[in-house]
Amino acid sequence: MSLQRSKIAKILREGKIGARYKVMGWVRTRRDSKAGFSFIEINDGSCLNNLQVIAEKDLPEYETEVLKAHTGCSLRVVGVLAESPGKGQNVELRAQEVKIIGPVDPLVYPLQKKRHSFEFLRTIAHLRPRTNTFGAVARIRNSISYAIHTFFQERGFIYIHTPIITGNDCEGAGEMFQVTTLDLEAIPKKDGQVDFSMDFFGQPANLTVSGQLEAEIYALALGDVYTFGPTFRAENSNTSRHLAEFWMVEPEMAFCDLEGNVALAVDLLKYVFQWALDHCQEDLVFFNRFVDNTLVQRLEKVVEDDFQRLTYTEAVNILAEADRPFEFPVEWGMDIQSEHERYLCEEAFQKPVVIVDYPKQIKPFYMKLNEDGKTVRAMDVLVPRIGEIIGGSEREDRYDVLLERMKEMQLDPEDYWWYLELRKFGSAPHSGFGLGFERLIQFITGLSNIRDVIPFPRTPGNVSF
């Protein structure tokens, strides 16, 4: 019986001294000792740590394989696990067979032992997952996705697949990517306008900015639902927390008001951070050491502390009294900018902040109007270093009020006929929010640029990888 391949994570966790293992992976480094053997550090992506392989000079393939096992090669090694006398690892694999699967020319391989800048690594998106940082990001994204599904599944939420291509514009705003098969060299026109009846769908279509409206449909049938999928924004914002394509988690709950919505958001964040501490320890320790050495402490504190809760009006008052200048003037009715968000959670409260009851002018039409007629039942969750990580609201469930709000905001009710009908047929209070998955991963890893927490970042002018 031939030996099955073992993953390095498993060998490091529960490998038996004296047992034979076969591993496949990529060479991180090799050192040749004068004493007649070589150390090969091999990584297979299953965990952050490498497995140290010892290859003796008397192996028949020492010259042809071992000495050609340069950084970046893919390699197969069969050997016996032994306790390691050296520092830095408990076990090592004493090689019996070493075989190069895919060679590397060390003179041209871009990833060398030295630490490369994140900017440089973004130009080699096909190789950066082979670095410690990007391997760790990929494993954390995977584990946190699982945590999110587990959180909702444990609570009886139904996972809904909402469309990527949509004929409606979620917030009545621009900033969407158009989807078309029209020939851009010969656009069909009718009365001087683009004739969308000739387009693939017979009408304009876009990439979705949110699955919310469709999730509402399902919440008003299935109760508690959530989506977790890609969303797209064509806004030209080149910041460290905006992508043109990002992943969003969007729960939507029937018979749930703003209070219940805030409670779910806080529970979800705490659950996910605790999960990261419990399940991603090795990778977190790495980020704590090399990226941000207050990371683990911050995650632990966020799990323990209450989130600070305040209204928009209270937030504006606190900002107005701050003893420091802001670029954007502070006044009631303004949008809370990133500098304000950070002041609130990093200086004023030093913990995550939930702001509710925003002025209706700065929020979309679907948010439920408060009795004051001026504010809506919106909530944003802000965290230190990132700012807004969640945006949500109780939805307007009263037909007349919704219609009024649409007219006020110059939206055509015809375009939302089905959305209005949901308020006509068995309407119910309901609430939901959107959690930006990449901002969540930024918070968990401490990485400051959102381009480094998604495998293939899409930003203005950047789609080649």
Site residues (CB under 6 A) for ligand ATP? 233, 242-243, 246, 248, 388-391, 434, 436, 438-439
Strands 353-359, 308-311: pairing kind: parallel
Q: Which residue is nearest to ligand ATP (CB)?
A: 436
Residue 420 C-beta: closest distance to ligand ATP, Å: 22
The residue written with tokens 């019996």 in the block is 96
Count Cβ atoms below 10 Å from residue 51 Cβ, excluding itself: 29
Closest to 358 measured CA to CA, from 368, 344, 349, 345? 368
Residue 157's binding partner among Mn ion, ligand ATP, none (Cβ under 5 to 8 angstroms by kind) is: none
Q: Which of 135, 100, 137 is nearest to 25 (CA)?
A: 100
Minimum CB separation of residue 161 from ligand ATP in Å reads 18
Residue positions counted in the chain: 465
DSSP state of 184: T
- Residue 390 interacts with which of ligand ATP, Mn ion, none, CB < 5 to 8 Å by class: ligand ATP
| Angstrom distance (rounded) from CA 219 to CA 431 | 9
User: Minimal distance in Å, beta carbon 364 to ligand ATP?
Assistant: 8
* 364 near Mn ion (CB under 5 A): no
**The residue type at 427:** S
Nearer Cβ to Mn ion (211/391): 391
Q: Give the nearest distance from C-beta 388 to ligand ATP in angstroms.
A: 4
Considering only CA atoms, give the Rg of the chain. 27
Q: Which CB sits closer to ligand ATP, 244 or 280? A: 244
Cβ–Cβ under 8 Å, residues 439 and 248? no
Nearer to Mn ion by C-beta: 293 or 361? 361
First to last CA, the chain: 42
Which of residues 64 and 238 has its CB atom nearest to ligand ATP in the complex?
238
Applying CB under 5 A, does 251 fall inside the site for Mn ion? no
Residue 139 CA to its chain's centroid (Å): 12
Shortest distance in whole angstroms from residue 438 CB to ligand ATP:
5
CA distances from 451 to 45, 233, 355, 436, 442 (A): 21, 15, 27, 14, 10
Nearer to ligand ATP, 93 or 147 (CB): 147
Contact window for Mn ion (CB under 5 A) among 33-41, 285-293, 345-353, 388-396: 388-396
3-state secondary structure of 398: coil
Residue 391 near Mn ion by CB under 5 A:
yes
Which of residues 26 and 226 has its CB atom nearest to ligand ATP in the complex? 226
Contacts with Mn ion, residue ranges (CB under 5 A): 391
